[in-house]
Structure 1
């Protein structure tokens, strides 16, 4: 099942490569949802991380993604796995002068840091 969302890129995380060779990179897109904008985290895996190469925070994009779910130790997790990005190519204008995102909050170690998916 495929879904799509449009919004402005808030941040692009660093690429993570695991010992197994698995690669993933995450991006947060701010979607205007009326009074309360939503910050949606999408992940790109393996060869799809290349889609994030020419993107910058502040760009407007449309992302096609699939919803993935799994069970791990009796808990259930969902991920939004991106596979196509439009509107954010290298020809897109750079973010406005003076545009500056606050640095992301420090990340605490989480229970799934060692999970390669």
Structure 2
């Protein structure tokens, strides 16, 4: 069975204000997995989702801008919810297979276009 491990991106002074749930998860192939992410940072309205497999770089899966999901081409995930403060954004990975096994990260930021 495929096992999937989830964690959230550290390294920012605001990392304690970004929360991902669950912290880890094990699922069988063919099943679906859901991860939620929320933050408590004023003015941040983007949640980004990343995947990292063993010995590889981070791969951007997509992001949520307020309530608008954007999934990278060729990526088979669903992003739903709301990226505003104290709201929840959900990443769904359907039909898990062996290379779904990875560390998944969420990160929050503000949408820079609103600050020009």
Per the TM superposition, whether the score is higher than 0.5 is: no
The higher-RCO structure (CA 8 Å, 6+ apart) is 2
Determine which structure has more spread, i.e. the larger CA radius of gyration: 1
TM-score bracket for this pair, using the shorter chain length: under 0.3
